[in-house]
Amino acid sequence: MKGNIQISRSLKPKLKTERCRRCYTPIEEKYGYCESCMTRICETIESKIPRKYLGMYNLYFEKILQLRNKSLFITGKTGSGKTGLSFGIMQSELFDGKSCKYICYPEYIDGLRNFQNDGMRTAHYEKMKIANYEGILLLDDVGAETLSEFDRETLYIIVNARYIYNRRAIITSNMSLNQVGEMDDRIASRIAEMCEIVEMEDIDYRVATV
């Protein structure tokens, strides 16, 4: 009997007004955001996702649905779409109103090395700012070449901070997790526990002819 009552209740037409997910003003159904919030979100997406990778959201849509809300280690050879998939995921998270930061690891390390000359305090502050970033951190192209001890220690500090504070990270690398482990097992073991491992297909889209 109780069940019947619940069913008849749920069949009643919904009178509740839909509201914008961001500012809660009433909106027409389905879109999730009011027009001005939608414009702002689209502007954020356009400023954070390089034009070249804006189409990746549609291209990897199915995959993105499975990979949302997780920390990821995306491995595959050069040109297999690691950066593209990561930006696609980032676009979907930005659309959900989450904060994301993209870091190209080799470029970041290069900047840090120069900071080091100014005194360790600055370098340390820069490192911890990234390590403790509260949004989703995209660390792209980790270990593209053999990492120096400084690169490795920096990576350890970042990965460890994500790990202990349960903050999300999306790490891409042309190394397998085993290869990361050979380089530094403290890093690999933390990645293995906190990340879902995503292996890209063995294709180089940059040179592949369609």
Ligand X SMILES: Nc1ncnc2c1ncn2[C@@H]1O[C@H](COP(=O)(O)OP(=O)(O)O)[C@@H](O)[C@H]1O
Select the residue interacting with Mg ion from 71, 75, 83, 154 (CB under 5 A): 83
**Contact range with ligand X by CB under 6 A, out of 19-27, 36-44, 78-86, 144-152:** 78-86
**Contact range with ligand X by CB under 6 A, out of 37-45, 82-90, 114-122, 188-196:** 82-90
Q: Compare residues 161 and 174 and give the one whose CB is closer to Mg ion.
A: 174
Q: Least separation, in Å, of the C-beta of 10 and ligand X?
A: 41
Is 198 within 8 Å of 67 (Cβ atoms)?
yes
Is 132 within 8 Å of 169 (Cβ atoms)?
no
Interface with Mg ion (CB under 5 A), residue total 1
163's enclosing H/E stretch is: helix 149-164
Question: Residues 146, 177, 75, 42: what is their CA dihedral angle, to the nearest 10 degrees?
Answer: -100
Long-range contacts of 130-133 (CB under 8 A, 24+ apart): 130/101, 130/103, 130/158, 131/157, 131/158, 131/160, 131/161, 131/162, 132/161, 132/165, 132/167, 133/101, 133/167
Select the residue interacting with ligand X from 20, 38, 45, 59 (CB under 6 A): 59
Q: Compare residues 81 and 143 and give the one whose CB is closer to ligand X.
A: 81
From the list Zn ion, Mg ion, ligand X, none, which binds 81 (C-beta under 5 to 8 Å, kind-based)? ligand X
Alpha carbons 131 and 169: distance in angstroms, whole number: 10
Does the protein bind ligand X through residue 79 (CB under 6 A)? yes
Contact letters for Mg ion, residues 37-76 (x by CB under 5 A): ----------------------------------------
